[in-house]
Protein backbone atom coordinates (compact mmCIF):
# COMPACT_ATOMS: atom_id res chain seq x y z
CA UNK A 1 0.00 0.00 0.00
CA UNK A 2 1.60 3.37 -0.97
CA UNK A 3 2.95 5.50 1.84
CA UNK A 4 1.78 9.07 2.24
CA UNK A 5 4.67 11.51 2.02
CA UNK A 6 3.75 13.51 5.11
CA UNK A 7 6.62 15.02 7.10
CA UNK A 8 7.29 13.26 10.42
CA UNK A 9 7.39 15.11 13.73
CA UNK A 10 10.59 17.00 14.46
CA UNK A 11 13.29 15.02 16.22
CA UNK A 12 15.04 15.94 19.44
CA UNK A 13 16.98 19.20 19.21
CA UNK A 14 20.14 17.77 20.78
CA UNK A 15 19.83 14.25 22.16
CA UNK A 16 18.57 11.62 19.77
CA UNK A 17 17.00 11.44 16.32
CA UNK A 18 13.80 10.37 14.61
CA UNK A 19 14.18 8.22 11.49
CA UNK A 20 11.38 7.85 8.96
CA UNK A 21 11.40 5.38 6.07
CA UNK A 22 10.18 6.38 2.62
CA UNK A 23 10.87 2.93 1.22
CA UNK A 24 13.80 1.33 -0.62
CA UNK A 25 16.82 3.04 1.01
CA UNK A 26 15.33 6.52 1.49
CA UNK A 27 15.32 7.61 5.13
CA UNK A 28 14.67 11.04 6.64
CA UNK A 29 16.66 11.63 9.83
CA UNK A 30 15.74 14.57 12.06
CA UNK A 31 17.57 15.64 15.19
CA UNK A 32 20.29 17.88 16.52
CA UNK A 33 18.72 20.84 14.72
CA UNK A 34 19.25 19.28 11.28
CA UNK A 35 17.39 17.17 8.74
CA UNK A 36 19.21 14.60 6.60
CA UNK A 37 17.65 12.68 3.69
CA UNK A 38 19.30 9.48 2.48
CA UNK A 39 19.07 8.04 -1.04
CA UNK A 40 16.09 9.77 -2.69
CA UNK A 41 14.87 7.65 -5.61
CA UNK A 42 12.90 7.64 -8.82
CA UNK A 43 10.28 4.91 -8.91
CA UNK A 44 12.36 2.63 -11.13
CA UNK A 45 14.02 -0.77 -10.73
CA UNK A 46 13.54 -2.18 -7.25
CA UNK A 47 11.84 1.10 -6.23
CA UNK A 48 9.14 0.73 -8.89
CA UNK A 49 5.68 1.41 -7.51
CA UNK A 50 6.88 3.42 -4.51
CA UNK A 51 5.97 7.10 -4.03
CA UNK A 52 9.07 9.22 -4.63
CA UNK A 53 10.36 11.08 -1.54
CA UNK A 54 9.77 14.65 -2.71
CA UNK A 55 10.64 16.23 0.63
CA UNK A 56 12.98 18.97 1.89
CA UNK A 57 16.10 18.45 3.98
CA UNK A 58 19.18 20.42 4.99
CA UNK A 59 21.40 17.86 3.27
CA UNK A 60 20.85 14.86 1.00
CA UNK A 61 23.38 12.02 1.27
CA UNK A 62 23.26 9.69 -1.74
CA UNK A 63 25.18 6.45 -2.14
CA UNK A 64 25.58 7.29 -5.84
CA UNK A 65 23.84 9.14 -8.65
CA UNK A 66 21.97 6.05 -9.81
CA UNK A 67 18.28 6.86 -10.11
CA UNK A 68 17.18 4.38 -7.45
CA UNK A 69 19.39 5.97 -4.76
CA UNK A 70 20.46 9.44 -5.89
CA UNK A 71 17.63 10.94 -7.93
CA UNK A 72 17.03 14.72 -8.02
CA UNK A 73 13.52 14.49 -6.57
CA UNK A 74 14.06 16.19 -3.18
CA UNK A 75 15.13 19.66 -2.04
CA UNK A 76 18.37 20.28 -0.14
CA UNK A 77 22.13 20.32 -0.57
CA UNK A 78 22.87 17.18 -2.55
CA UNK A 79 26.05 15.22 -1.78
CA UNK A 80 27.11 12.07 -3.62
CA UNK A 81 30.90 12.45 -3.84
CA UNK A 82 33.49 11.51 -1.21
CA UNK A 83 34.86 14.34 0.91
CA UNK A 84 34.55 16.26 4.17
CA UNK A 85 31.58 18.61 4.49
CA UNK A 86 30.01 21.00 6.99
CA UNK A 87 26.27 21.41 6.49
CA UNK A 88 23.63 22.62 8.97
CA UNK A 89 26.07 22.22 11.84
CA UNK A 90 26.89 18.62 10.90
CA UNK A 91 30.38 17.31 10.12
CA UNK A 92 29.91 14.76 7.36
CA UNK A 93 32.56 12.39 6.00
CA UNK A 94 32.12 10.47 2.76
CA UNK A 95 34.56 7.98 1.31
CA UNK A 96 34.57 5.82 -1.80
CA UNK A 97 33.89 2.09 -2.07
CA UNK A 98 33.04 -0.10 -5.07
CA UNK A 99 29.31 -0.28 -5.68
CA UNK A 100 29.52 -3.87 -6.89
CA UNK A 101 31.61 -6.99 -6.28
CA UNK A 102 33.75 -6.27 -9.36
CA UNK A 103 35.79 -3.36 -8.02
CA UNK A 104 33.29 -0.89 -9.46
CA UNK A 105 33.67 -2.11 -13.03
CA UNK A 106 29.91 -2.56 -13.50
CA UNK A 107 28.25 0.14 -11.38
CA UNK A 108 31.17 2.42 -10.58
CA UNK A 109 31.99 3.68 -7.12
CA UNK A 110 29.59 4.36 -4.26
CA UNK A 111 30.03 6.70 -1.31
CA UNK A 112 29.89 5.49 2.28
CA UNK A 113 28.81 8.19 4.76
CA UNK A 114 29.49 8.86 8.41
CA UNK A 115 28.30 11.76 10.58
CA UNK A 116 27.13 12.61 14.09
CA UNK A 117 23.59 13.86 14.62
CA UNK A 118 21.62 14.28 17.81
CA UNK A 119 24.52 12.84 19.79
CA UNK A 120 24.55 9.61 17.74
CA UNK A 121 27.22 8.38 15.32
CA UNK A 122 25.50 7.27 12.11
CA UNK A 123 26.94 5.27 9.20
CA UNK A 124 25.16 4.95 5.85
CA UNK A 125 26.13 1.90 3.77
CA UNK A 126 22.89 1.79 1.84
CA UNK A 127 24.42 1.25 -1.60
CA UNK A 128 27.40 -1.08 -1.83
CA UNK A 129 28.14 -4.78 -2.22
CA UNK A 130 31.90 -4.58 -1.63
CA UNK A 131 33.55 -6.07 1.47
CA UNK A 132 34.91 -3.48 3.88
CA UNK A 133 38.64 -2.88 3.73
CA UNK A 134 40.59 -2.39 6.97
CA UNK A 135 40.74 1.35 6.35
CA UNK A 136 36.95 1.43 5.87
CA UNK A 137 36.46 -0.15 9.27
CA UNK A 138 38.75 2.44 10.84
CA UNK A 139 36.87 5.32 9.20
CA UNK A 140 33.45 3.94 10.15
CA UNK A 141 34.42 3.08 13.72
CA UNK A 142 31.65 1.61 15.87
CA UNK A 143 28.51 3.47 14.82
CA UNK A 144 25.52 3.93 17.07
CA UNK A 145 23.27 3.49 14.03
CA UNK A 146 24.22 1.50 10.92
CA UNK A 147 22.06 1.79 7.81
CA UNK A 148 22.91 -1.04 5.44
CA UNK A 149 21.56 -2.60 2.26
CA UNK A 150 20.64 -6.26 2.68
CA UNK A 151 18.55 -7.32 -0.34
CA UNK A 152 21.32 -8.74 -2.52
CA UNK A 153 21.59 -8.41 -6.26
CA UNK A 154 24.46 -6.96 -8.25
CA UNK A 155 25.07 -3.79 -6.21
CA UNK A 156 23.78 -4.43 -2.69
CA UNK A 157 24.97 -6.74 0.09
CA UNK A 158 23.26 -10.09 0.44
CA UNK A 159 21.82 -10.86 3.84
CA UNK A 160 24.89 -12.93 4.75
CA UNK A 161 27.30 -10.23 3.53
CA UNK A 162 25.44 -7.53 5.47
CA UNK A 163 25.48 -9.69 8.61
CA UNK A 164 29.27 -9.99 8.31
CA UNK A 165 29.60 -6.20 8.11
CA UNK A 166 27.41 -5.87 11.22
CA UNK A 167 29.66 -8.29 13.07
CA UNK A 168 32.73 -6.30 11.98
CA UNK A 169 31.37 -2.89 13.01
CA UNK A 170 29.29 -3.95 16.06
CA UNK A 171 26.76 -1.09 15.84
CA UNK A 172 24.17 -0.52 18.55
CA UNK A 173 21.25 -0.30 16.12
CA UNK A 174 20.97 -1.65 12.57
CA UNK A 175 18.42 -0.43 10.04
CA UNK A 176 18.30 -2.71 6.97
CA UNK A 177 17.38 -1.07 3.65
CA UNK A 178 17.33 -1.94 -0.08
CA UNK A 179 15.18 -5.05 0.10
CA UNK A 180 11.83 -6.00 -1.36
CA UNK A 181 8.59 -6.06 0.64
CA UNK A 182 5.69 -7.74 -1.10
CA UNK A 183 5.76 -8.42 -4.84
CA UNK A 184 9.17 -8.10 -6.49
CA UNK A 185 9.17 -5.58 -9.39
CA UNK A 186 9.91 -7.15 -12.78
CA UNK A 187 13.28 -5.39 -13.20
CA UNK A 188 14.50 -5.98 -9.62
CA UNK A 189 17.24 -8.42 -8.57
CA UNK A 190 16.80 -7.94 -4.80
CA UNK A 191 15.15 -10.23 -2.27
CA UNK A 192 13.51 -9.80 1.11
CA UNK A 193 14.93 -8.88 4.50
CA UNK A 194 14.52 -12.46 5.77
CA UNK A 195 17.96 -13.81 4.74
CA UNK A 196 19.60 -10.99 6.69
CA UNK A 197 17.52 -11.68 9.78
CA UNK A 198 18.26 -15.41 9.44
CA UNK A 199 21.99 -14.57 9.31
CA UNK A 200 21.72 -12.67 12.62
CA UNK A 201 20.40 -15.36 15.00
CA UNK A 202 19.94 -14.23 18.56
CA UNK A 203 19.91 -10.53 17.67
CA UNK A 204 16.73 -8.78 18.87
CA UNK A 205 14.50 -7.52 16.06
CA UNK A 206 12.01 -4.68 16.47
CA UNK A 207 9.41 -3.55 13.94
CA UNK A 208 8.50 -0.03 15.08
CA UNK A 209 6.53 0.93 11.98
CA UNK A 210 7.48 3.69 9.59
CA UNK A 211 9.24 5.95 12.12
CA UNK A 212 11.50 5.19 15.06
CA UNK A 213 12.81 7.63 17.67
CA UNK A 214 16.21 6.88 19.17
CA UNK A 215 17.50 8.61 22.28
CA UNK A 216 21.15 9.22 23.06
CA UNK A 217 23.01 7.39 24.40
CA UNK A 218 21.88 3.96 23.20
CA UNK A 219 22.36 0.68 25.01
CA UNK A 220 25.38 -1.29 23.78
CA UNK A 221 23.71 -4.51 22.63
CA UNK A 222 23.02 -4.67 18.89
CA UNK A 223 19.36 -4.51 17.88
CA UNK A 224 17.83 -4.63 14.40
CA UNK A 225 15.09 -2.13 13.51
CA UNK A 226 12.98 -3.16 10.52
CA UNK A 227 11.08 -0.08 9.35
CA UNK A 228 7.91 -0.34 7.30
Separation of alpha carbons 150 and 141, rounded Å: 20
Q: What is the pLDDT of residue 10?
A: 39
| Dihedral sign (CA 143, 73, 57, 180) | negative
Answer yes or no: are the C-beta atoms of 228 and 207 closer than 8 Å.
Answer: yes
Would you write out the chain's pLDDT as a tens digit for each of its 228 residues? Answer: 444 444 444 333 469 999 999 999 999 999 999 999 999 999 999 999 999 999 999 999 999 999 999 999 999 999 999 999 999 999 999 999 999 999 999 999 999 999 999 999 999 999 999 999 999 999 999 999 999 999 999 999 999 999 999 999 999 999 999 999 989 999 899 999 999 999 999 999 999 999 999 999 999 999 999 999
CA dihedral 87, 88, 93, 99 (to 10 degrees): -80
- pTM over the 0.75 mark: yes
Q: What domains sit in the chain, N to C, each tagged with a CATH number?
A: 17-227 (3.60.15.10)
Q: What is the pLDDT of residue 6?
A: 46
Q: Are 70 and 48 in contact (CB under 8 A)?
A: no
Strands (E), the chain: 17-21, 27-31, 34-38, 56-61, 75-79, 83-87, 90-98, 109-117, 120-125, 145-149, 173-177, 205-209, 211-214, 223-227
Cis ω before 36 (30° cut-off from 0): no
Nearest to 178 by CA among 146, 152, 200: 152
How far is C-alpha 78 from the chain's CA centre? 16
Q: How far is CA 18 from the centre of its chain?
A: 14
What sections of 30-177 are H helices per DSSP?
134-140, 159-169
Amino acid sequence: MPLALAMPPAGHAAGGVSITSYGHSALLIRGGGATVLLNPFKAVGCAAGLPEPRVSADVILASSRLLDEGAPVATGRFLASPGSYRVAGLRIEGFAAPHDRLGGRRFGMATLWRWKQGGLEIAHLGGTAAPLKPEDRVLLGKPDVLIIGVGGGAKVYTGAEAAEVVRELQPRRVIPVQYVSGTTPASCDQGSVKPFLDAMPGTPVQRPGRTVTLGAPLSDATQILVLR
